[in-house]
Amino acid sequence: MHNDKIETLLNEITAYQASSPEELENYRMRFISKKSVVGELFAEMRNVPNEEKKAFGQQINSVKQAAEDKFQELIEAINQNGKSQQSTGIDLTLPATTLPVGGIHPLTATRQRIIEIFERIGFNLSEGPEIEDDWHNFTALNFPENHPAREMQDTFFLEKNPDIALRTHTSSVQVRVMENQKPPIRTLSPGRVFRNEAISARAHCIFHQVEGLYVDRNVGFADLKQTLYHFAKEMFGKNTQVRFRPSYFPFTEPSAEIDISCQLCNGEGCNVCKGTGWVEIGGSGMVDPNVLENCGIDSEEFTGFAFGMGIERIAMLKYQIKDLRLFTENDIRFLRQFKPML
Ligand code: 2NL
């Protein structure tokens, strides 16, 4: 009777398969634990006649051993299984890996914002060549023959006599617009410009400019001021103060530098504004009548204002960037900070 039972148990143990921790636990409950069928066999020892006790004991010990050997086997099989699952590196419960998304370069974002502000008040965009002749870059703009800006140390000349150079400002684009169009003209010309300067935290030989030009009948200095007030408040916030400081440019008369109240200290005075409470954002003025005439526009009938700003400078003020070289070094730690910006 016992022999049959033991035979059945051994068969069951040999055939057992566990492919999950749950099945392994079921096996343990059935064959290993105190209350298992094997445990019950030991309890039956009491009912076995003395002369059979030795043989029965040997039998149930071998069942116990077989059950334990099989248990180790099953544990190893399951661990092996777990390992091979891990080695595929696939965990379907993990969130999907996100694709890296590029950001908008701070100079691009700044240029786009400037364009947006002026387009809304009726300015269009104009573009022109980065390689310019002397007429469009200097002579039409009323630069005297011996003006220092024409010198080798300020301008990258590609050819001499006739002079061909990398444009030093985008005014040359606006000269081309005036030569080709009749007023009213309201145009904005953003672009890359070149000056032969030593590279530092505040200057670069390649930088970006945006110039604006408004030519029509009865355009006055009040129009210039109001337009740039509007720009400063849209760009830097409605509490921004604006002031104009008398200045000089060959192509405008009168001329003025445009200052805004310092964004960092709110006009209190700090190291960014050097204690003055004001920072310069660009230059402006009424287009010199000579320039209008050079471009075929009757200066008796038409007047105009113009302004120019460095895009790097505006971006540095807006985002508190201390070194202009960061814009072109492509350091990912710098660029990443502008990732969510559109
Ligand atoms: C500055 C100063 C300025 C202009 C640019 C201009 C263009 C024409 C005629 C007259 Cl076609 N003027 N542009 C006028 C005043 C200042 O730029 O500081 N730029 C970064």
Over the chain (342 residues), the average pLDDT of each successive run of 10 is 83 90 91 89 88 90 93 88 65 84 91 98 98 97 87 88 95 98 97 95 94 98 98 96 96 97 88 91 98 98 98 94 94 86 48
How confident is the model at residue 84, as a pLDDT?
56
Q: What is the pLDDT of residue 309?
A: 97
Q: Check if 309 has its Cβ closer than 6 Å to any atom of ligand 1.
A: yes
What pTM was computed for the model?
Answer: 0.73
231 CB-near residues (< 8 Å, 6+ apart): 114, 117, 118
User: Residue 300 carries which DSSP code?
Assistant: T
Which letter, b or e, does each residue of 90-119 get, where b requires 16 or more Cβ atoms within 10 Å of its Cβ? Answer: eeeeeeeeeeeeeeebbbebbbeebeebbe
Nearest CA to ligand 1 atom 15: 284
**What's the pLDDT at 83?**
65
Task: Tell me if the bond preceding 254 is cis, omega within 30° of 0.
Answer: yes
pLDDT recorded at residue 342:
45
CA–CA distance, 164 with 238 (Å, rounded to integer): 43
Q: CB–CB of 106/314 below 8 Å?
A: no
CA-closest residue to ligand 1 atom 4: 307
Binding site membership of 285 for ligand 1 (Cβ less than 6 Å): yes
Question: Amino acid letter at 167?
Answer: R
At 68-81, the pLDDT tens digits run 999 999 998 888 77
The reported pLDDT for the residue numbered 338 is 86
Q: How far is CA 303 from CA 44, 183, 185, 186, in A?
A: 118, 10, 11, 12
**3-state secondary structure at position 131:** strand
Atom 2 in ligand 1: residue holding the nearest Cα: 283
State the amino acid at position 71 in one-letter form: F
Check if 190 has its Cβ closer than 6 Å to any atom of ligand 1. Answer: no
Residue 123's pLDDT is 98
Q: Is the peptide bond before 162 cis (omega within 30 degrees of 0)?
A: yes
